[in-house]
Structure formats: C-alpha cells, structure tokens
Amino acid sequence: MNEKSKTGLADRRLRERLLLGRAVPGDHLRLADATLLGALDGSRPLTANERAALMHSPLTLRRLRVLSDAVRKQAGAAAIWMRSGGLLRAAASSTTLDRLVTDDGCWALHFVPDGDGWSVILALAAEAPFAPGLMRQQPMLRVLDGAGATVLQGRLDIDGECEDGWPFDTPPARHFQLHGGMFAVETAAP
C-alpha cells in the first residue's frame, strides 16, 4: 500500500468515527431496516431525502453499519442478492420491445415473437457478483411488472436463463407502458 492509499484510508476512518461518534439530541432511527438493506444490496437506491436523513442521524448510520456487517458475515465471500429493478426507457417505449435490463445490469428480459404471441426469457448476467450463488442454490425466481403482476416465474437453467410464454394480451412494450414502465426480478416462494 503506497503512502497516498494509507492517507486516504486514514482519512476515511477518521470521517467514519466522526460521523458515527457524534451525539445528536433527539436522534432516532430514521430509516427502516428494509430500506437500508435495499440500499446495501443495490435493489433500492436511497432518495436524496433518505441520504440526508442518514447523514444527519448517527444512530441510523450505526444501524446501517451493523446491517452491513451482518450481510457481509452471512455472505462470506459471496454477494447476496434479493431483488433487482428496472425501468422501460423512453427509446424502448416507441418501438418493438425486444429487451429490458435491470438498473444494476445483472438481469435482462428478452422478448421473442412466438406465433401470434411472445416468449419472455429472463437471463442472468454471468458477471453478476451473485451469479455463482444463484446458479448453485437455484431459487424460484419471478419477474413482476409495475402493477405487481407476474410476468414470468421459474428456476434458471444451466445457461442462467428461464423462459415461458408472454402471459398478457398486450404486447410487451404496451404492457409495461400501461403498468408504470417498471419491472422487478426477485426470489419467489417455491
């Protein structure tokens, strides 16, 4: 480790101690554990107001640290994944939709014409940090649209994909437009 790296590490540790150690009268937990866990795993980025609440509450910062340590301990060397979300982009909304990607880049939904309908394929990116664990554990996965309806449910095959027929009457692009343009990939109860 060079001198600049040592100085940067020391500065970060000092800032951390100052943030966590200060006393704020009336301080209380300002964010729920689910919100903090979502921020840790990248499935739910914090809003500007939530970031401000976190920075102004040493108690909430300490809780984030405890949750982070617990997640790290539980995961060992492997990353834990619970949920990834994505959004229909404006460019995709005006043309035939053939692919959607989650915001974290770890999942893709492919839409393939199939006779009079469509097939939908969920594909896990091989470079996703949690890919080895998911391929080993083979949990039941589901894809939800912005209204909470199930688009696809199943387990990944050896290629890291899951495929089924498109379950709705409207084509994929129109369906996602009608349901907030959002989608999510998450584990499902078997």
* pLDDT score at 38: 83
Q: What mean pLDDT is predicted for residues 164-173?
A: 93
- For residue 108, give every residue at least 6 positions away whose Cβ sits within 8 Å of its Cβ, in sequence order, or none: 99, 100, 101, 102, 122, 123, 125
Whether 186 shows a pLDDT value over 60: the answer reads yes
86 has which bridge partners?
Answer: 102, 183
When pLDDT is cut at 50, 70 and 90, the band that residue 168 belongs to is very high
| Percent of the chain residues topping a pLDDT of 70 | 81
Whether 4 shows a pLDDT value over 70: the answer reads no
Counting beta carbons within 10 angstroms of the beta carbon of residue 22, is it exposed (0 to 12), middle (13 to 18) or buried (19 or more)? exposed
Structure confidence by residue, pLDDT tens digits, 54-99: 888 888 888 888 888 777 665 543 456 888 988 887 544 455 788 8
Q: What mean pLDDT is predicted for residues 117-129?
A: 93
Q: What whole-number distance in Å separates Cα of residue 92 and Cα of residue 113?
A: 16
Side-chain half-sphere exposure of 33, counting CA atoms within 13 A? 6
Q: Return the closest-CA partner of residue 175 out of 91, 116, 93, 105.
A: 93
